[in-house]
Structure 1
Amino acid sequence: MPRAIETWKINLISVWFGCFFTGLAISQIIPFLPLYVEALGIHGDRALSLWSGLTFSVTFVISAAVSPLWGSLADRKGRKLMLLRASLGMGVVILLQAFVTQAWQLLLLRALMGLTSGYIPNAMALVAAQVPRERSGWALSCVSTGQIGGVILGPMLGGLLADWVGLRWVFIVTAVLLMVSFLVTLFLIKETGYTPVSRQAKLSGREVFRSLDNPRLMICLFVTTLVIQMCNGSVNPILTLFVRELAPQAQNIAFLSGVIAALPGVSALISAPRLGKLGDRIGTQRILLATMVASLLLLVAMSFVTSATQLGVLRFLLGFADGAMMPAVQTLLVRHSRDNVTGRIFGYNQSFMYLGNVAGPLLGAAVSAATGYRWVFFATALVVLLNVLLLRRFYRRPTTALTPRSGQRDAAPAATDAASAHSASAAEKAKTQG
């Protein structure tokens, strides 16, 4: 087996573990932030809600602002360096959160944590740059299962640690897990075939989009990422309350709600690699549209449920669609962009992801306050419907042949030469094969 194939497979496995530990580390803190804020001296429902909301959202807001910067730096300095920066930076900042004594200190460190984000999008970009293009859907879906697995196990592990050793130790253990990600990245991941983009050759944001074969589709995919995250987060503020409304006699509402919240992640683990592989065969855009339509129908059905069991079953089915949507978007981003701007593209996409993380809970809270819990599912389904129509409007196949992986071609030095460079690369490849 050629060494190049061995390298990308080793990187794929290493990145999977890095994303797993990162997802595990971040998610095990989120459910207990309100308790930690309360332990720092914030009392009263209104004050606690305000501080908890600010502490939770500030990380995503800052991350959304700086993600394009990290993406640009990844194109210039390499994705592995960005992985090391993110894992080490988050580990140090989370460790410091274990020793705060005031709520404002926690808020400041959570904001600083936003500056250190970016492990998972850069991991995706690294895999996308090295995996054979015809297998990119399957590979990115596999990487996403690492993150999903970590997000599922994180709250359970965090809950056990909080009960056994206390809230502060959750932050310490989380920092240790992120150091494991750092070590996995440092010693196992090898970035091959990478051609750094010099500062002089760096494209402006406008030139990046001019170099794309379908810039409108790229913007539409960014919006799709935001919508996916909105849909995942819109139900979070009301899920426990809705479960309590459906099962008023249940004595274990918190546990029941936790199980129902985790069910989509379980089915997503099952579906992600399989639907990613299917997308490589029949077309990733078909998988994306089909799963978005399926999620739309399931969200509408959830608004009519009469028991917690029905809600759990529908959320489990929703997970099969969720497991395919984000990897499908990332695969299309790879296939419609060039290697010399992949980091920038993934950085922009990550910004929209973080904005969706903030907008989703806001949508759910606003709709539920105005019209009731069930209308949250209708509102979310309407957002998905609009996005499906947008995708159908702007999706078209590339007008030029797909470019080979980096290392087999030269990056376009500037946006004005992008089209000619792309054509020349395709012609040279055809000539060689001929």
Structure 2
Amino acid sequence: MEQIPAAPEFQHWQRNLWVCVLGSFSTIVAMTLLLPFLPLYVQQLGIKEPAAIARWSGAAYGATFFSAALTAPLWGKLADRYGRKLMLIRASLGMAVAMSLIGMATAPWQLVALRLLAGLLGGYASGSTILVASQTPKAQTGWALGILSSGIMAGNVVGPLLGGVLPPLIGIRHTFWLTGAVIFLAFLATTFLLKEVPQQKGAKKASAASAERTPPVNHRVVRLMWLSGMLLIFASMSIEPIITLYIGEFVQGDHAITLMAGLVMSAAALGSILSAPRLGKLADRIGHWRVLTAGLLICALLLIPQALITAAWQLVVLRFLMGMALGGLLPCITAIIRHNVPEARVGRMLGYSTSAQYIGQVSGPLFGGFVGGAFGLRPVFFATSLVMALCGWLNWRRSQKIDEK
């Protein structure tokens, strides 16, 4: 590890990174924890008809991501104005309160409303991305964001696993209360361990004066990064609605199909967790554009054999490799945005980037379900490959124009 730079704004970047990793991990676990038992909780709240249980479960799960997508730019803007640490304190305390209240719900509408509240008050992971991106030396930005991305992905893996283990042991309501307590610990760590160096008044005036002399945002690059981030999540999520049906073509028995589907879904996340710090470090060395473009094109190529498999284990291997290709790309996108946006607007632009990624999280499964229902399961992979290839080409074209300048 290189020595910590002497610049005051970078004094605490390593400590801040690990606080943000742990806080992001715990809040993402909280957002995904209820996946395995959500229908059971809805049933406990008085809904008995299977179709109604499915509707309420879908609404409750999607509510958090919907409200988070709407508010991410606002929290990013406020972070630029009032400080990134303050936003992380707000998010961790808000999530702790919301998760505890979810454990006290007595009706399904309350569950949906509280999940909306969790998304509205949350945003710890996106706030952490803003803080790490803005207060890490540029030479280590890719690596640091890769570590943070691994923590976020780990939360996405561990959350559903804990959601399957804890309710039988301590009950559903106690699971929510325990999660709220863990997030409260993240709130305490954020409050007392995280150090943000505030801008001095003279520095603020200087930065404002320099902002007036320079173009505020490289809009073409930033908008391309928003699109790329959305499509990355889109590609990861597009097979979610069809994965169980697709595996059913190669595996017999409900238990075996469910187990294999879980392995396939976990394989991509595991690949991303392992590769994100390494790809981030590589990007710091050879350039974020190169890693981003190569990752997108490799992802497009790996989607093609996924449509041609003859056994389910092949899909596990290919999804793992695809996860490795995708792992460092969101950190690259964040780093490129940071390098093309003035310091005073980093939070707001990264907030829009987070919203775009939430759009990918919603549109990916919708796209996969539509294409799978209309044209068959295998065309989903081909269509997603085409989308990834187009995104890779757009990034390559933009990077070539930048190199020519």
Question: 5+ residue gaps in structure 2?
Answer: none
Aligned equivalents of 1:398 and 1:168: distance in 2?
56
Pick closer, same or farther for the CA change 1:249–1:61 going to 2, 3 Å.
closer
Amino acid at match of 1:226: M
Pick closer, same or farther for the CA change 1:47–1:374 going to 2, 3 Å.
farther
Aligned equivalents of 1:229 and 1:35: distance in 2?
28
Residue 375 of structure 1, CA deviation: 2.0
Q: Secondary structure at the match of 2:99?
A: helix
**What is the match of residue 312 of structure 1?**
316
Amino acid at match of 2:258: A
Residue 272 of structure 1, CA deviation: 0.8
Pick closer, same or farther for the CA change 1:267–1:54 going to 2, 3 Å.
same
Structure-to-structure mapping, 1:96-115, within 5 angstroms: 96-115=101-120
Amino acid at match of 2:102: Q
Asked if the contact 1:15–1:123 (Cα under 8 Å) also holds between the matched residues in 2, the reply is yes
Deviates more, 1:247-256 or 1:333-342: 247-256
TM-score relative to the length of structure 1: 0.85
Residue 281 of structure 1, CA deviation: 0.9
Residue 389 of structure 1, CA deviation: 2.6
Aligned equivalents of 1:375 and 1:49: distance in 2?
27
Aligned equivalents of 1:17 and 1:158: distance in 2?
19
The number of equivalent residue pairs is 394
Asked if the contact 1:217–1:391 (Cα under 8 Å) also holds between the matched residues in 2, the reply is no
Residue 6 of structure 1, CA deviation: 4.9
Amino acid at match of 1:280: D
Pick closer, same or farther for the CA change 1:29–1:394 going to 2, 3 Å.
same
Residue 26 of structure 1, CA deviation: 1.9
Deviations 1:92-123 (Å, cap 9, x if unpaired)?
11111111121111111111122112111111
Pick closer, same or farther for the CA change 1:194–1:260 going to 2, 3 Å.
farther
Aligned equivalents of 1:172 and 1:20: distance in 2?
17
**What is the match of residue 333 of structure 2?**
329
2:378 paired with 1:387:
no
Structure-to-structure mapping, 1:55-204, within 5 angstroms: 55-194=60-199
Residue 18 of structure 1, CA deviation: 1.4
**What is the match of residue 223 of structure 1?**
227
Amino acid at match of 1:327: P
Asked if the contact 2:242–2:368 (Cα under 8 Å) also holds between the matched residues in 1, the reply is yes
**What is the match of residue 237 of structure 2?**
233
**What is the match of residue 260 of structure 1?**
264
**What is the match of residue 276 of structure 1?**
280
**What is the match of residue 420 of structure 1?**
none
Aligned equivalents of 1:230 and 1:95: distance in 2?
31
Amino acid at match of 2:355: S
Amino acid at match of 2:167: A
Asked if the contact 1:221–1:333 (Cα under 8 Å) also holds between the matched residues in 2, the reply is yes
- RMSD over aligned CA atoms reads 2.5
Aligned equivalents of 1:326 and 1:242: distance in 2?
28
Aligned equivalents of 2:99 and 2:229: distance in 1?
27
Structure-to-structure mapping, 1:347-386, within 5 angstroms: 347-386=351-390
Residue 195 of structure 1, CA deviation: 5.6
Asked if the contact 1:128–1:136 (Cα under 8 Å) also holds between the matched residues in 2, the reply is yes
Residue 31 of structure 1, CA deviation: 3.4
Aligned equivalents of 2:344 and 2:319: distance in 1?
39
Residue 182 of structure 1, CA deviation: 0.7
Question: 5+ residue gaps in structure 1?
Answer: 401-434
Asked if the contact 2:26–2:182 (Cα under 8 Å) also holds between the matched residues in 1, the reply is yes
Asked if the contact 2:93–2:183 (Cα under 8 Å) also holds between the matched residues in 1, the reply is yes
Deviates more, 1:33-42 or 1:224-233: 33-42
Asked if the contact 1:276–1:328 (Cα under 8 Å) also holds between the matched residues in 2, the reply is yes
Deviations 1:114-146 (Å, cap 9, x if unpaired)?
211211111111111211111111111111111
Aligned equivalents of 1:316 and 1:195: distance in 2?
46
Calculate percent identity across the aligned residue pairs. Answer: 40
2:250 paired with 1:246:
yes
Aligned equivalents of 1:180 and 1:398: distance in 2?
46
Residue 351 of structure 1, CA deviation: 1.0
Q: Secondary structure at the match of 2:248?
A: helix
Residue 385 of structure 1, CA deviation: 2.0
**What is the match of residue 298 of structure 1?**
302
Amino acid at match of 2:374: A
Asked if the contact 1:16–1:142 (Cα under 8 Å) also holds between the matched residues in 2, the reply is yes
Pick closer, same or farther for the CA change 1:20–1:275 going to 2, 3 Å.
same
**What is the match of residue 428 of structure 1?**
none
Residue 71 of structure 1, CA deviation: 0.8
Aligned equivalents of 2:47 and 2:87: distance in 1?
36
TM-score relative to the length of structure 2: 0.90
Amino acid at match of 2:270: V
Deviates more, 1:79-88 or 1:173-182: 173-182
Asked if the contact 1:88–1:178 (Cα under 8 Å) also holds between the matched residues in 2, the reply is yes
Deviations 1:222-248 (Å, cap 9, x if unpaired)?
011111111122222222222223202
Aligned equivalents of 1:251 and 1:123: distance in 2?
38
Aligned equivalents of 2:302 and 2:181: distance in 1?
39
Amino acid at match of 2:150: T
Aligned equivalents of 2:30 and 2:56: distance in 1?
22
